[in-house]
Amino acid sequence: MMLNTNSKDRPSCQPWRTAESIEISQYLLTLGLAFLLARVWLDDARNFTVPTVATAAIAAISALKVLSVNLPSFLFPHILSASILTFLLWLASEIYWRRRQREALGLGDVKLIGALTIWFGPVEIWSVLLVASIGAIAFGLMRLAKGQAGMHIPFGPFLSFAAVLQALLDLWSGS
């Protein structure tokens, strides 16, 4: 969301916000998000773990992004939707674990999705999840074709790629 620099177009409760300051903060926060997601990508691809510190930093930077681009009232729906989605994914993962004694979605992935939901909100997170899921399925099918069917697939790298892609698309589209 880009604002005009005319004072009549700026939110009255935050007169210090200009289109330029919002745009600069978006670029810096997106760069920070990309850096943190690169760490998640590497750690999950190597060790099958999503670092909690990186996830917490992503949640914090996501809250800053929402506050810098939107009015503060936008933060609550983002955090609420992140909390609900995180709980539902954890519940589904727990039910799967109890029935199959195998992990389907790790807790690190669940927390990462929650942190990314704060950044993207309750609507855009679904496109991130769709792209990440398609990538993971394609990767799994390639492994299956090579005879490596029994191996685990880390989901963090696919989430990281999809999130950076969506964040860049948002920057370029001005939303």
pLDDT tens string, the chain, 175 residues long: the values are 444 444 444 444 555 556 666 688 889 999 999 999 999 999 999 999 999 999 999 999 999 999 988 778 889 999 999 999 999 999 999 999 999 988 889 999 999 999 999 999 999 999 999 999 999 999 999 998 988 777 789 999 999 999 999 999 998 887 6
At residue 30, what are phi and psi to the nearest 5 degrees? -65, -40
3-state secondary structure of 24: helix
Break the chain into its structural domains and give their ranges. 18-173
Closest among 118, 123, 106 to 61, alpha carbons compared: 118
Which pLDDT does position 10 carry in this prediction? 45
pLDDT at 43: 97
pLDDT for 71 equals 73
pTM for this one? 0.85
Side chain identity, residue 1:
M
pLDDT score at 36: 98
Distances (CA, A) of 131 to 9, 12, 136, 162: 35, 38, 9, 6
Phi/psi class of residue 174: alpha, beta or left (left: φ > 0; alpha: ψ in -120 to 50)? left
Tokens representing 105 are 């979605």
pLDDT at residue 19, as a whole number = 62
